[in-house]
Structure 1
C-alpha cells in the first residue's frame, strides 16, 4: 500500500531531501538481505540523530505504518526484510564512534558503525570488542545487537549480549529511553539491555550502544588438528572444553567443508581429512606454551591424524581466510543453500554431528557442517542443487530441529529467528514463554509497527 499523503509530508519535514528515498530503484536496494526473502518498502529514511528516530516512530505509529530497522543487510534469516512494506530506517549514516574510554573499558557508538570499523578504532588503544562475525567488514553494530551476533571468539569472550553495558533506544510508542549503565556491575531494576539484544528490532530501535571492551592479548597461537572422521573430532571438542584452559577460538569443519575450502582457497594449505579443528589460544607470551600444551593434550585421542602449530602469521591468516570464505564457497556450489546455526551443549556435539550425517544420508541431500564448536554452535548448511533436492532438504529441516531440541539445544546460536525460523519457535519454547514474550512485545510496541512478522510465530 502507498504511504498516506500526510505521513509522506511529515517524513519530508523530519528528513532532508537526501535522507528520504521514495524512488523505486532506490528502494529496491533495501528490499532484501542475505536470505532469499524480499519485499519492497514504500520509503527508506536515513536518520542521523536520535530525535529523528523518535519523530519517525511517532509519525508511523499515528498512521499504523510498519518500520523495519536496517544496518548492513547481512542477515541470513530475513530479519531486515520489510516483510509488511512500510518504511525502512537505514542506520548507515548514524556511524559515529562517540567515545572510547580505555580506563572504563567501554566505547559509546551509534548503530551504523561497522564491526570492522570499530575494531580498527579500538586497536590503537589496546582493546577489541568481542563479537567477530564473518561479515565484520559489512555488518553494523546495530545488526550485531539485533541478532546477538557471535563469531569464533565467543567461546572465550562471549557473544554480543555479554559485551554490552547499555543502550539508548526508541520504543514503538515513539518514546526514547536509556537502559543499562556505564559500569560493569548493575543490579538496578529489570535488565532491558539484554532483553533488547537479540529482539531483532521488534521491541525498539537502538540509536546508541555502550559496549564493554576487552584488552587485546599479548600473544596468539593457532593450532590445527585433523581427524579421521567427524565423530572423533566432535569428541575432541568435548575433551578440550572439559579441561581448565579456554581456547579463544575452537572451529570445526567437516570433510565437505574442507573440500570447499580447498577448492575456494587452494593456497591456504587446508588438509584432506574427515574433519578439522582450528584452535586458537591467547594470553601473555610467557604463559602461552603452557596454555597451548594443555589444549594439545586434550586434542590428542582416538582418530587424530595430525596436530600442528601454525608456523607464522601468514599461515594463520591463510587458514582463517579459508574458514571465513566458506559461505561464499557454498554459494558457488548452489544458490539454494539453507543456512542453519543450531546449537547444543558441547557434550552433545558428537551426537549432533552423527545425527546430521544420518540426516544427509536419509534425505539424499548434501549437508556441510562447520562453525563454532567450542560453543556447540554449528552452521549446518543444506546444499540442494535441483528441485528434487530442494524438496528433500526442506523436508529434512523439521527433523534437524527436532534432533537439536532432543539434545537440549536450540534453534539459533547467533543468526536469530527472523522470518525463516519463526514457525519453528514453539519447538524450542513452551506456550507459556511465548505468551509472556507476546506481552513484552505489546508493552514496547502496542500497535505492532516495529518489524512485524518477525521472530514470534
Structure 2
C-alpha cells in the first residue's frame, strides 16, 4: 500500500481484484503514470478489472473514500488525458480486451474497451467490413481510448470520427451506477443521447465498459492522387472544390511548404512546392475510375503545379510514402515536439498556415503543419530542444499564440486528440461562461463527487 492510499480501500480492492488485478508496487504505478504527452505523475495504485461488475465496484469504493479514478487504455494519447495528476487509482482495461460479438447482418460489433483498434480491423477483414476510425496509432491504441477522445484519422473526411461510428455504450458513472445507452440500431429518437455525450468526455463523465460499434462495408478498390500547388491558398481553394462536388474523398491530406521542404531535405522524392494534397477515392472496380476523375477535375485549378495518379496498391503505397515519412523526418529537426491537432473552417486554412509561419519566425523555431484538410484539422508541430530553457519557453509561447489564432479564426482546440490537461486552461477562452456552466452541470450529474479523471477537460471556475 502507498502512503496516501486509505488502508480500508487497499484491503477492499485487493480482496476484490486479487494480486493480478490490484497493483501497488512502484513498477506498476510508474508504468501507468504517463502517456504519449510525456507528462507523468504517480498513481497510488493500479486496478486491472476483469469485468464491468468489478469496474462498478472499484468506482463505488473509490467514491466512498474520495479517491480519484483515472481510466486508461494503451496510453497513446497526447493531451495528458490519462496522466493521474491527482494520484488515486488508475483503472487499466488491459484484461477487458474481448470482441464480444460481431453481427454482420446488423453491421455492428460489440467490444470491451481494451480491444486494440488494429485487432478489431483484422477480425473484421474476412467479413468484408471495417470500423471507420483510423488514428495513426491504430495498431496499438484501444477502442476505449478512441471513444474517450473521439479519435479520427484520415478516413474521417468521408466516414466520420469515433462519435459518428458508435451506436451504444455501457458505462459506469462516478456514482458506480451502470448506465446503458443506444444499441444495435442506426435510428433512435428515444430520450437524451447519452451515447454521444459520453464519447469524447475523456473519462470525466463515466468509464466505458462495453461499446456497440457501427461497421461499414470494406471498399473493393482504392486509388489516389498526389497534387502539388504553388501556395497554401491554391491548395485550400482546391480543398473547397473537392468538398463541394458529390464524390466525397475517402482521404484528403494536406502538407505545408515546411513539411515538403523537410521531406526533400531527408531524401523523399517530392518536388519543391508551396503545398501538397494527398487525395484518395474508394469504391468498386466499375465506379472507382469515375470517382477518381471527378476528384482530379476538382483538384485542378489556378496554382496547381503537378498531379500524380496511383491506381494499384504498390503505386498508392509510393504516393502515401511522403505522408508516412513525415513523423520520422520531424525527429531530424529537434528532439522535442509539441503536436497540436487544431481545427479551423476549411476556408481559413490559408490564414492558419500564415499564422503558423509568423509564429515560427517570431519565436525562431521550426513549425511544420500537415493533416486532414477535408475537416480543416491540421497537426501543427512545434519543434524545439526541451533541455534548452530559452527554446522551451519560446515553444510554449508559440503554443499559446497558436491557440489564440485558432480561436480568432473561428476554430476549435482539438479535432481528435482531446483536451486532457494540455488544453484545459484554454477552455474558458474557447467557450462562454454559460456554456461551460452547462458542461459543469453535466459533470456534476454523472460524477457528483468529482472523482473521475479530476483536473481534465474543464478548467476550474474563476473566482
Partner of 2:327: 327
| TM-score, normalisation: structure 2 | 0.95
1:318 positional shift: 4.0
Answer yes or no: is 1:16 the counterpart of 2:21.
no
Q: Distance in 2 between matches of 1:228 and 1:389?
A: 32
Give the match's secondary structure for 2:185. Answer: coil
TM-fit CA distance, 1:328: 4.0
Q: Distance in 1 between matches of 2:442 and 2:16?
A: 29
Aligned residue runs from structure 1 range 207-218, under 5 A = 207-218=209-220
C-alpha distance 301-408 of structure 1, shift in aligned 2 (>3 A): same
State the shift of 1:409 in Å.
Answer: 1.1
Going from structure 1 to structure 2, the CA distance change for 1:67 and 1:331 (only over 3 Å counts) comes to farther
Which residue of 1 is the match for residue 91 of structure 2? 89
Aligned partner (choices 126, 133, 156) of residue 128 of structure 2: 126
Q: Contact 2:101–2:111 at 8 Å: present in 1 too?
A: yes
Alpha-carbon separation, structure 1, partners of 2:236 and 2:363? 23
Q: How does 1:366-405 map to 2 (within 5 A)?
A: 366-385=366-385, 386-405=388-407
Tell me the SS of whatever aligns to 1:337.
strand
Structure 2 contact 109–214 (Cα < 8 Å) conserved: yes
2:355 is matched with: 355
- C-alpha deviation, 1:453, in angstroms: 0.6
Gap change, CA 1:331 and 1:78, over 3 Å in 2: farther
**Separation in structure 2 between the aligned mates of residue 428 and residue 346 of structure 1, nearest angstrom:** 19
**Who is 1:278 aligned against?**
278
Cα distance in 1, alignment partners of residues 84 and 114 from structure 2 = 18
The SS at the match of 1:285 is coil
For 1:433 and 1:331, how far apart are their aligned partners in 2? 39
Q: CA deviation at 1:402?
A: 2.2
Q: CA deviation at 1:257?
A: 2.0
- Please list, as runs of the form range in 1=range in 2, the aligned pairs for 1:183-222 lying within 5 A after superposition: 183-222=185-224
Alignment match, 2:290:
290
Aligned to 1:418: 420
Confirm or deny: 8 A CA contact 1:234 1:353 kept in the other structure: no
Structure 2 distance, partners of 1:262, 1:83, is: 41
Residue 2 of structure 1 deviates from its aligned partner by: 2.1
Count of equivalent residues: 455
The aligned counterpart of 2:450 is 448
Distance 2:332 2:175 in 1: 44
In the alignment, which of 89, 99, 107 is matched to residue 105 of structure 1?
107
Look up the SS of the partner of 2:255 in the other structure: strand
- Out of 84-93 and 272-281, give the one that drifted further: 272-281
- Provide the rounded CA distance (Å) in 1 between the counterparts of 2:33 and 2:265: 32
Task: Tell me, yes or no, if the aligned pair for 2:367 and 2:380 is still in contact at 8 Å.
Answer: yes
What whole-Å deviation, never above 9, does each CA across 1:207-242 have from its counterpart, x for those lacking one? 000000111112111110012233322222122112
Aligned counterpart, 1:139: 141
Q: Is the deviation greater in 297-306 or in 254-263?
A: 254-263
Q: How many angstroms apart in 2 are the aligned matches of 1:320 and 1:297?
A: 20
Q: Which shifted more, 185-194 or 376-385?
A: 376-385
Q: Deviations over 1:257-316 (max 9, x none)?
A: 23444566x5x6444432211100111221112211111111112221210112531232
Does the CA-based 8 Å contact 1:79-1:454 persist in structure 2?
A: yes
Contact 1:223-1:278 within 8 A present in 2 as well? yes
Whether 1:3 aligns to 2:1 is: no
Q: Which consecutive unaligned segments of at least 5 residues does structure 1 have?
A: none
1:231–1:353: 8 Å Cα contact kept in structure 2?
A: no
Query: Is there any run of 5+ residues in structure 2 with no aligned partner, and where?
Result: none
The answer to whether the Cα contact below 8 Å between 1:269 and 1:319 also exists between their aligned partners in 2 is: no
| 1:36-84 Cα deviation digits (max 9, x unpaired) | 3110111111111000001100111111111110001001000011111
TM-score when scaled to structure 1?
0.96
**8 A contact 1:145–1:160 mirrored in 2:** yes
1:118-166 deviations in whole A, cap 9, x for unaligned? 1111111111101000000111000000000000000000000000000
Secondary structure of 1:143's counterpart equals: helix
343-352 or 357-366: which moved more?
357-366
In 2, the alpha carbon distance for the partners of 1:322 and 1:44 equals 40
Contact preservation (8 Å) 1:170, 1:206: yes
Separation in 1 of the partners of 2:211 and 2:325? 29
Distance between the aligned counterparts of 1:280 and 1:158, measured in 2? 15
How well do the aligned residues superpose, as a CA RMSD in angstroms? 1.6
Tell me if 1:76 matches 2:78: yes
